[in-house]
Amino acid sequence: MKHLIHTLEGRLAPLPVAVAVELPSGELVGRTPTEVVLRFRSLAPLAALAAGHIGTLGAAVVEGQVELEGHVRDIMRAASALLQSDPVRGTSSWWSQIMARTRSMALHTVARDAEQIEFHYDLSDDFYALWLDPRRVYSCAYYRRPDMTLAQAQEAKLDHICRKLQLRAGERFLDIGAGWGGLLLWAAEHYGVQAHGITLSRNQHAYVSQLIAARGLQDRVRIELRDYRELRPDTPFDKIASVGMFEHVGQAQMPAYADTVRRLLRPGGLALIHGITAGGVDNVEVGAGMGEFISRYIFPGGELLHVSRVLHVLSQSGLEMVDTENLRPHYARTLWAWSDALEEQLPRAQRILEQQTDGERGARALRAYRLYLAGCAMGFERGWIALHQMLVTHPDGQMGSGALIGAQSEYPFNREYMYTEGIACPTSSNPVPPQI
């Protein structure tokens, strides 16, 4: 026991915040006065603490073996300092690549993907509403101006996507993975498109369906409960967005995903692919147990690829990348906004989850989400993960004329149009969908 206490003292002393560990015996080890306290109910998780395996330590917190006391931002500062190696610099051997691909193929059938989406997105609409913006946009916001609120930054993101796609009235627009309908409704109401969304979440499908009816948009907006692989429209779409969705596709299915986007997009049209990407080129997942934690408690089946690999697959399918933007710092700020909002609503969040799920599952989910939101905010800050928007075209083979000879698409090969202020930029007068 003396050796254990000595090891703990050595690990805790250099941390940037004052951390103390309470052993199962009640003995307190570490710095005082404390900013963060870890109360261990058993000795087993201490090995993860000593090794800097923070994902495993987080799992022990979710399972109730360790209790945390302190502000989540201080907890994350301590967690990052506990790491003993760079979590995105792991080697990726040919064998690990084969095993990862084999696992990915097994994880991403149509049936398995539906189950995995249900696990996450159908947890509780009321729970998500506590910490998301009023439009329930569950993806990276875009802080066009530093003083924006989360709600304003989410509207700016929706508009940023619509600008990049050059949406025009009457165009047929597809949103793959439409979530709670934020982009679908924004595109229809501000740009006059015929909007079609698909989702695998039954809760989201029901919510958006009611929202469409409440806004009187049945003639212009449609939402389907459908897998992207099963969508067979009579004619291709003019524009496509896929926001926060390809992370669920899996590396084994990425070629089929890219081929599907190309099939669904008319020649000359534009598609905006927005998603989380890996911070390292070769790592299969974020190290130190963090990848396993997210797969187990938050996103079963989720897989991240480096942006270079995503672009490689998109190019192989015949899509041309015309613009790529890294919004990594924007996602760090978004996640901290979500984390802060959840921390302010913890008692209410606990009541909702315990009432709408099995009591113990609700308690575990709340512990997991507290660590997940703050941990991902830290991950984006430190570059362990990133967020990219990739604008691609389906070349039509037409050489064009004048300044855009050879364009083969509607993309003007000039970014100026994306960043010019316009009437759809977020203001307090923009309508917010009613809560259903």
| Spatial separation of the C-alpha atoms in residues 68 and 76, rounded to whole Å | 12
| Spatial separation of the C-alpha atoms in residues 370 and 355, rounded to whole Å | 18
Give every CB contact of residue 260 below 8 A, 6+ residues apart in sequence. 228, 229, 231
**The residue type at 276:** I
Count of CB atoms situated within 10 Å of the CB of 242:
22
Structural contact between residues 408 and 399, judged by C-beta atoms closer than 8 angstroms:
yes
**Residue whose C-alpha is closest to residue 258's, from 305, 300, 302:** 305
| Spatial separation of the C-alpha atoms in residues 166 and 151, rounded to whole Å | 23
| Spatial separation of the C-alpha atoms in residues 34 and 18, rounded to whole Å | 5
Structural contact between residues 130 and 345, judged by C-beta atoms closer than 8 angstroms:
yes
> Across the strands, what pairs with 239?
173, 270
Beta strands in 265-383, from DSSP E residues, in sequence order = 265-278, 320-326
Q: Is 140 considered catalytic here? A: no
Cα dihedral across residues 217, 219, 221, 225: positive or negative: positive
Q: How many CA atoms lie within 13 Å of 191's alpha carbon, on the beta-carbon side?
A: 26
- Which two structure tokens, joined as six digits, stand for 380? 């984006």
Phi and psi at 33, nearest 5°, equal: -70, 150
- Which two structure tokens, joined as six digits, stand for 411? 């993309």
298 DSSP assignment: T
Catalytic residue among 140, 162, 376, 425: 376
Question: How far is residue 258 from each of residues 262, 276, 327, measured CA to CA in Å?
Answer: 6, 16, 22
Q: Which residues are catalytic?
A: 376
